[in-house]
């Protein structure tokens, strides 16, 4: 493990592209590759988190390639951040990861510079793209994204995005609509960061009066026209239909985040069930509002929104799902988590990772929609909520399978065909196997933290030992060590060396010089921010 940590650090250093601070656009791809990355961003992330006015962006993008030297810095930064997000979907091994990290690095430096015009619509767009890219590509630790989201909210409020345009000095209607779209996106990004960090949003519904965007296409927004805008009816699908539908569920999701992460919130199972019922109602309304547009909604959009909603269900029910293994009064939480975990796994764990005849047959029998390549690739190469949510799903699957095996061994299960006699048992085991391969493929795609792979492999070995009647501890220990060896070999191949230059002991010796008389000043308190007490 220590050797792998050293290799991971060297891999991170190897990815860093030489760069002079203050120089931007130093690592541009070819025009052909750039077109692919922009297309991938615009048809995925931009359709679920509205940040750009696409016609304006495309016009500026064409002008950039015609005359790069005259391009404004703010557009260059926006374009490169779009590149970084599109790079997550470029291939299965995230071959453009070094470039994506460099584009984020340049954007971070630009936003922190004194001469960057952050107090503008363009500045907020850059901050939104940077927040999204740092979470999906750079994998900042949850509390870091939460801190940065606070800066994003305050930047947006500093230019009045939290106030509805009708309450501000007169402006073209199109400009007002862009402000509404951006404020809605700022709230979504900030709320998502709260879930990553276990923190609170620090803003309530009383702190803003900006209304939801109108149901309009981007082409209907003319920034030079002072005329009024006529919104399409709800039966007409536009570029903002999905943003509006998701935003209508925001109050229910905000209530869950405040309840789960608020340090002084009074928690009870009755209130958990009430919030879950509110979320289910909001989800139902969301589904009904977009049902008429079923043919126009892409598989990526559908998978993305399902993942968002399931994430909040996990937030409510996971603390009680473990209790439900011993107390049937909480069985609803257990079933809810398992159903969501299987739904997420069918969407993200493609048979290309590891062929599984049972899962292929199950997909066909249940008429499950084939995995969306963009979404599968994003969960494979991306970080942040995409990695975390799928990892939670695999842990729930493992816990459920373990509980079923324990019940069978203790005679509590009436099924006499064996521990995997039911279809559900085989389904859980198949996903656990594919999940281990998924964590391995994430290392091949440049994920430098091997703990996901080692942990999942050890769990699978323990489950297999339970099924075969072997020693669980011995199987877990052996497979954990073997997974470490395999992971090290993968990292060595990525780094390109046979052995790390610094051993783990050398690292300890170096750390010994970092002595402080009082650890209070230097200790990382990030782990103390979570406040959801798991009931006993």
Q: How far apart are CA 414 and CA 418, in angstroms?
A: 10
Which residues are within 8 A (CB) of 521 and not within 5 positions of it... i.e. 6 or more apart?
A: none
Question: What crossing angle do the helices spanning 73-87 and 31-42 adopt, rounded to 10°?
Answer: 80
For residue 286, the surrounding DSSP H or E stretch is helix 269-291
Place of tokens 């995409």: 386
Q: Give residue 61's pLDDT band: very low, low, confident or very high (50, 70, 90).
A: very high
| CA-based nearest residue to 249, from 239, 257, 260, 261 | 257
Tokens read off for 423: 């279809």
Mean pLDDT across 451-474: 94
Residue 104 · residue 84 · CB < 8 Å = yes
Helical spans, DSSP H, in 447-471: 451-468
- How much is the mean pLDDT over the chain? 87
CA distances from 501 to 3, 4, 449, 528 (A): 10, 12, 18, 34
Give the model's pLDDT for residue 210. Answer: 96
Residue 398 · residue 463 · CB < 8 Å = yes
Mean pLDDT across 120-126: 93
Give the model's pLDDT for residue 508. Answer: 37
User: For the chain, what percent of residues have pLDDT higher than 70?
Assistant: 89
pLDDT in tens, 163-193: 999 999 989 999 999 999 999 999 999 999 9
What b/e sequence results for 238-258 when a residue is b if at least 16 CB atoms lie within 10 Å of its CB, and e otherwise?
Answer: bbbbbbbbbbebbebbbbbbe
Q: How far apart are CA 298 and CA 294, in angstroms?
A: 8
Give the model's pLDDT for residue 448. Answer: 86
pLDDT above 90 for 202: no
Mean pLDDT across 88-96: 95
Q: How many CB atoms lie within 10 A of CB 512?
A: 8
Q: How far apart are CA 54 and CA 76, in angstroms?
A: 15
Give the model's pLDDT for residue 415. Answer: 54
Give the model's pLDDT for residue 498. Answer: 46
Q: How far apart are CA 376 and CA 378, in angstroms?
A: 5
Give the model's pLDDT for residue 419. Answer: 62
Q: How many CB atoms lie within 10 A of CB 492?
A: 18
The pTM of the full predicted model, rounded to 2 decimals, is 0.90
Mean pLDDT across 471-491: 95
| Chain centroid, CA 5 distance in Å | 24
Q: Give residue 409's pLDDT band: very low, low, confident or very high (50, 70, 90).
A: confident
E-strand stretches of 419-505: none
pLDDT in tens, 138-170: 877 667 888 888 999 999 999 999 999 999 998
Q: How far apart are CA 194 and CA 147, in angstroms?
A: 9
Q: How many CB atoms lie within 10 A of CB 476?
A: 19
Give the model's pLDDT for residue 511. Answer: 41
pLDDT above 80 for 289: yes
């Amino acid at each position: 493990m220590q050797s792998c940590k050293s290799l991971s650090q060297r891999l991170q250093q190897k990815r860093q592209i030489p760069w002079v601070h203050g120089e931007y656009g130093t690592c541009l791809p070819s025009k052909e590759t750039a077109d692919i990355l922009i297309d991938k961003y615009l048809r995925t992330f931009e359709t679920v988190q509205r940040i750009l006015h696409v016609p304006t962006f495309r016009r500026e993008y064409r002008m950039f390639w015609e005359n790069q030297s005259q391009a404004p810095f703010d557009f260059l930064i926006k374009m490169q951040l779009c590149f970084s997000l599109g790079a997550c979907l470029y291939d299965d091994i995230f071959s453009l990861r070094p470039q994506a990290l460099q584009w984020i690095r340049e954007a971070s430096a630009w936003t922190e510079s004194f001469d960057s015009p952050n107090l503008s619509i363009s500045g907020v767009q850059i901050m939104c793209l940077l927040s999204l890219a740092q979470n999906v590509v750079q994998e900042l630790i949850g509390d870091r994204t939460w801190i940065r989201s606070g800066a994003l909210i305050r930047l947006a409020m500093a230019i009045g995005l939290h106030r509805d345009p009708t309450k501000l000095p007169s402006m073209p209607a199109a400009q007002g609509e862009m402000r509404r779209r951006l404020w809605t996106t700022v709230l979504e990004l900030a709320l998502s960061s709260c879930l990553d960090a276990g923190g609170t949003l620090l803003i309530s519904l009383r702190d803003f009066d900006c209304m939801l965007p109108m149901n309009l296409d981007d082409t209907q927004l003319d920034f030079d026209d002072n005329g009024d805008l006529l919104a399409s009816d709800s039966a007409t699908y536009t570029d903002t239909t999905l943003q509006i539908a998701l935003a209508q569920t925001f109050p229910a999701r905000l209530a869950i985040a405040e309840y789960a992460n608020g340090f002084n919130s009074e928690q009870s199972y009755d209130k958990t069930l009430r919030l879950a019922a509110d979320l289910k109602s909001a989800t139902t309304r969301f589904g009904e509002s977009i049902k008429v547009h079923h043919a126009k909604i892409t598989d990526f959009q559908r998978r993305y929104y399902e993942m968002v909603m399931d994430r909040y269900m996990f937030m409510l029910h996971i603390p009680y799902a473990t209790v439900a293994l011993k107390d049937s009064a909480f069985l609803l939480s257990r079933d809810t988590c398992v159903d969501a975990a299987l739904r997420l796994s069918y969407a993200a764990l493609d048979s290309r990772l590891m062929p599984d005849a049972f899962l292929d047959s199950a997909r066909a029998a249940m008429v499950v929609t084939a995995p969306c390549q963009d979404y599968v690739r994003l969960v494979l190469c991306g970080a942040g909520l995409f990695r975390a949510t799928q990892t939670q799903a695999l842990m729930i699957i493992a816990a459920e399978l373990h509980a079923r095996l324990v019940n069978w061994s203790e005679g509590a299960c009436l099924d006499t065909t064996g521990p995997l006699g039911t279809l559900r048992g085989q389904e859980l085991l198949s996903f656990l196997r594919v999940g281990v391969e998924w964590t391995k493929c994430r290392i091949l795609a440049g994920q430098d933290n091997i703990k996901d792979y080692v942990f999942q492999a050890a769990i699978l070995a323990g489950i297999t030992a339970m099924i075969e009647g072997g020693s669980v501890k011995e199987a877990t220990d052996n497979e954990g060590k073997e997974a470490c060896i395999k992971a090290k070999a993968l990292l060595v191949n990525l780094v390109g060396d046979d052995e790390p230059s610094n051993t783990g002991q050398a690292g300890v010796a170096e750390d010994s010089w970092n002595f402080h008389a009082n650890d209070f000043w230097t200790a990382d308190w990030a782990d103390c921010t979570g406040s959801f007490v798991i009931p006993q």
